[in-house]
Structure formats: structure tokens, C-alpha cells
Structure 1
Amino acid sequence: MDIKNSVVLVTGANRGIGEAFVKALSDAGASRIYATARNIDSLKEIVAISSTSIIPLELDITNLEQIAQVAELAQDVNLLINNAGVGSGGGFFKSNSVEMARWEMETNYFGSLYMIRAFAPILKQNGGGAIANILSIASVINMPMFGSYSASKAALHSLTQGVRAELAAQGTLVVGVFPGPVDTDMGKQVPLDKVPPSQIALSTLQAIEQGIEDVSPDATSQQVFASIQQDAKALEKQFATLLPQ
């Protein structure tokens, strides 16, 4: 599909990768961009990029009532970018690890599922369109310092594959994006080199235009997938060494 003149909804658009998507979409000529965040006041600077084409909407992707309201307003969407997500550091044995795991799964997996279920019929009525799910290299290899976050992203990876199969008949392209460490607030805890959010956004939009389903948008991501092909167990052991001693 062409990004130019597309109508796009971006979740978690107020900062980081979401903000980069809004900027990249505006530069590419998207005709309308629904920029969403839990706090609509946090979108003021984003709207200033192009007040004529960027529409701010309050949206918590775990709130089914808000999702229904946004879907009713945004009936012209033909590209959904599921970017909103949460993450906590630490493994599975902290005192609050179960609560954190539920929070991550409810947002990263169920929130994305809610959005896809709400917008799949809209994409169908608008010719099929596309969905981009922002995953992580943690979707395909657990990073023990972010154990439950990795589990939630692995669930989202499986969801991406499942809805890709189910939505193929209506002509909806479903894209999975697997960044390595990104220079965002969430990425500060990762002890690896980071890439700018703009690189993730631009690589994803290029993939959507080319019909590519799986995107490794940076060198770390590409190396992880290559290492999985060569020796997945060795890669697992390598990531285990990143746990604080």
C-alpha cells in the first residue's frame, strides 16, 4: 500500500517510537493521522507537527469502551500501527513480578488484540489496508533482565502470526516489527547500543509499502535473527550473561 494519502492510527503516539511514526507519516504525506495516547495533553507537541492532518485522541488500549469510541470516530483508517506498550525491568522473582507480568500482558498482548479486533472490520471496508505490530527482539529470544516483558512480546508475536492468517482473506497485510534496543525512555535500561526511533518508523513504513511481513529494522535485530538460525541455544546463553550479578 502507499503511505502517501493513507489514513493511519498510531497508538502510544506521544513519545519514542510512536512519535517517530507520526513524524515519518506526516513527512510521507499521509492524509490523516490519528495520534493516540492515554493522556491527550501529552500529544500537544505532536499535533503541532501538522495541525491540519494530525488528530489527537485519548486512548488507553486496555479500555474497551475507549477503543469502541475511537473506532467509531476513525472509520476511514486503512493503516493501524500498534505501538503502545509497557515494560518493567527485572525477572520473574521480584516481589511484584506477577503483578508486573499481568500489566505487561494486558497491555502488550491483550491491548493489541483489542485494537485489531476493533479495526479489522474497518480495514476490510477500506480495501484491506495494513496492521503493523511493534514487537521486539525479545519476542523471539527471552531477555532475562526483562523476563515477563519478553513473554508478553512473544505472545504478541504469536498473535501477529495468527491474525495474519485470519485476515489474509480480506487482503489485510499484517507486519511484525522486531527492533533491537531503541533510544527511548523504555530502552534506557538495556545495556546495548541503541538506534534512534526514527529508524524503526522509516524501516516499517518502507516494509508496508513493499508488502514485507517481518521487519528487522536495525543491525542488532538482524544479528539476533541470524544467530537464531545458526545456534539458538548459544544465543539464549549469551543473553543470560546480561543478568546483573
Structure 2
Amino acid sequence: MKIHYDIEGKIALVTGANRGIGKAIVDAFLHHGAAKIYAAVRNLDSAAHLVERYGSKVVPIQLDLIRPETIVAAAETAKDVQVVVNNAGVFIASTPMDDEAGNSLELGMKINVLGLIQMAQVFAPILKINGGGALVQLNSIASLKCSANFATHSASKAAAYSITQALHELLGRQGTAVLSVHPGLIATDMSAAAGLGGAAEPASLVGEGIVTALKAGDFHLFPDSMAKRIGSAYQHFSESIIETDISEYRPVKI
């Protein structure tokens, strides 16, 4: 069942809101009429430029996905939130053969996966009280396609995507829309640090895409050119398997 959601007039929380994709999401939401954005960041000063631009429509709050107590504290402040965007994450990549592979994977799982689980556990009850709302999870095309050089990052994103599928089913029962976002090459500090900035596209594609996808009631968003190519190839599998109740499948008698 599709849940259509319009950001206009809504109160949202965006993790990692101070730069890159997070900032683009804040810009898009406010452009499309969001009433207020909680800019959830590790360092409150890093959101000062958003307050300078948007005034009281942006409320900085501290949140660090590796510190569960900050998630709980943020929820105490943002009791009126209707849309939660879990954009923050970590990019620490290793091949399976690197000496640091274990450490890279452990940190990626702790932030990208356990952080998502904790965000959902803390904020889902609030979204339910406030009418259902929406949970948006920033995954990646890396959740579908593993590159050897970024293997541990891909593994953490694949795990986060798996959790997002579960949340789509579970939170849908309380009327909460869940959107899984899979950017490809987007111009951010993270992509530049990974040496992928050359063909990167603007982060605004992600922010605007989220607004459109929520209205359409979509579960997946592939916002940029590279992501769209992968999403197009993935679409049939997604519609037939990922977005379908697996209990509908029955053994074939031969």
C-alpha cells in the first residue's frame, strides 16, 4: 500500500543537515513549504549558516548517530516532528583484503546501520502520535552494487537497505511512509574525499527528489543519472520481490 505524503506545512528533522545532501534536503523542504526543520548535527555551530538564512524555521539540535543518548535527547526536543530524514552517515571504505577491513566495517555498521535502527526505535512512536508522517533513509547505490575498493562501505549500506525494507513493512502498519534513497555520484565533501567528484551531480537532485517521491508514495528514489540507470534495471526485481509480500509466493508443483 502506497502512502502519499506532502511536505508542505510539516515539521521535519534532518540529520547531517549542515552540508552536502543534508543541506540540500533542508533547502528543498523549506522551498516546498515545510513549517520548520530541526537541523540535527554533531556540532551546533555548524548549522549557524542555516539559521542565518532561514531564521526561526531552522532549529539546530545536537545528534550524533554513534551516541544513542543524543538521539533520545533530540527526540525529547522534537516531539512535534512529522518527518524524519536519516541522512547522516560515515564513509570509511576498505577492500576485504585490507588490514583495516574489520575496523572499517565495524564503524560503518555502528553508524550506518545501528544508527538507523536507533533512530527508528526512538522516532517511530513520535511519528505515530503525530499522524504517521514519514521516515526517509539515505542509502546509496552502493547498497545494490559493491565496488571492491569500497567493499566495507557497501556492506554497511546493504545492511541499512535491508533494515529500511523491514521498516517499510513495519512502519507502514502505523501509517508512516518510508522512503529509501539511493544516490549515485552526488557532489559532496564525502564523494570528493573518495575521489569521485569528477562526474558528480548537484545535491539538489536528492532534496527535490525526496519531495517528489514522498508525494508519489514511492519506496525507492534513484535521484541522479547514475542512480537512475541502476534503478531502471532494478525496478522489475523491486516491484516483484522487494515491494511484494513474500507470503504470496507458493511452491511450484512439478
TM-score relative to the length of structure 1:
0.90
1:139 aligns with 2:143: yes
Q: 1:228 to 1:172 in 2, by over 3 A?
A: closer
| Alpha-carbon offset, residue 192 of structure 1 | 6.1
Report % sequence identity.
38
| Alpha-carbon offset, residue 225 of structure 1 | 3.0
Aligned residue runs from structure 1 range 25-44, under 5 A: 25-44=29-48
Task: Indicate if the aligned counterparts of 1:23 and 1:49 stay in contact, CA closer than 8 A.
Answer: no
Q: Distance in 2 between matches of 1:225 and 1:168?
A: 22
Structure-1 residue corresponding to 2:12: 8
Task: Indicate if the aligned counterparts of 2:205 and 2:223 stay in contact, CA closer than 8 A.
Answer: yes
Task: Indicate if the aligned counterparts of 1:62 and 1:114 stay in contact, CA closer than 8 A.
Answer: no
| Alpha-carbon offset, residue 82 of structure 1 | 0.6
1:200 aligns with 2:206: yes
Aligned residue runs from structure 1 range 17-166, under 5 A: 17-166=21-170
Deviating more after overlay: 88-97 vs 51-60: 88-97
Identify the structure with bigger relative contact order (alpha carbons < 8 Å, sequence gap 6+): 2
Aligned residue runs from structure 1 range 164-203, under 5 A: 164-188=168-192, 189-190=195-196, 193-203=199-209
| Alpha-carbon offset, residue 122 of structure 1 | 0.4
| Alpha-carbon offset, residue 228 of structure 1 | 5.0
Task: Indicate if the aligned counterparts of 2:66 and 2:110 stay in contact, CA closer than 8 A.
Answer: yes
In structure 2, the gaps of 5 or more residues are 237-254
Task: Indicate if the aligned counterparts of 1:79 and 1:123 stay in contact, CA closer than 8 A.
Answer: yes
In structure 1, the gaps of 5 or more residues are 231-245
Q: Distance in 2 between matches of 1:229 and 1:172?
A: 22
Following TM superposition, where does structure 1 have runs of at least 4 consecutive aligned residues deviating by more than 6 angstroms?
none
Q: Distance in 2 between matches of 1:191 and 1:20?
A: 17
> 3-state DSSP class of the match of 2:115?
helix
> 3-state DSSP class of the match of 1:36?
strand
Task: Indicate if the aligned counterparts of 1:10 and 1:82 stay in contact, CA closer than 8 A.
Answer: yes
| Alpha-carbon offset, residue 143 of structure 1 | 1.8
| Alpha-carbon offset, residue 207 of structure 1 | 0.6
Task: Indicate if the aligned counterparts of 2:11 and 2:37 stay in contact, CA closer than 8 A.
Answer: yes
